[in-house]
Structure 1
Amino acid sequence: MAHPVDIHVGKRIRHRRWLIGMTQQQLAEKVGIKFQQIQKYETGANRVSASRLWDISDALDVNISFFFEGLQDETAKVVPEKARVPADLMGDKEALDLVRSYYAIPENQRRRLFELARVLSDVA
């Protein structure tokens, strides 16, 4: 199954390509790949590597950030609010305290606590 980020980036590639009136074949030629690969990127079937996205952004005359615009809105539909991790997890004092406390627990008990947390997060 395609990752929501890959699908979003693919939609943005297609959107920009259509806006400037470029065919998949033309984009593929500018990037140096086959048009079938562009099709796979646009559907999210294949992930776009960083270097390939750089080439595509150059060919479509946009900044790389263009492909990620609106992503927050898209992923909010897919990832439940409770499952989100703060952007700066290691900058969160409570999270750091929790990690320190977790690793202070003996390993066999830590595994059991981990399983309990996993079960509770599935239920919540």
Structure 2
Amino acid sequence: MKKAMILMAAAAILASGLASADEVLEVHEDRAVGGGFGGLSGFMLGAAAGGPVGALVGGGIGYLMGQGAQQAAGLEQTLYVVKREDGSVARIRASDDRFLQGQHIERDGARITAAAK
């Protein structure tokens, strides 16, 4: 009797994992890290060289150059817009681009994997 209950509990746990898979709604290239780093660097250099106006101009130019540097280095990330099982929408950044729109994924913290079929 105990073995049957254990098997039923294991089957319920495995089945619930399949039902809780999230769905990828959109896939985008993401260069926010390079833009943020470049924008901050440009902001500080611009402020030192030209005061408040220099800070704004330097921040804008640094943001664009930071995105370009990240793209040129091949370090782009992928931004996934994901519909969770509860209907809410989340944005997940990952270093790979192997998931497609409409694909089901499972989240384990910051790590995402393809959902088992």
- Normalising by structure 2, report the TM-score: 0.31
Structure with the largest fraction of helix: 1
Structure with the largest fraction of strand: 2
* Greater relative contact order, per chain length (Cα 8 Å cut-off, separation 6+): 2
- Normalising by structure 1, report the TM-score: 0.30
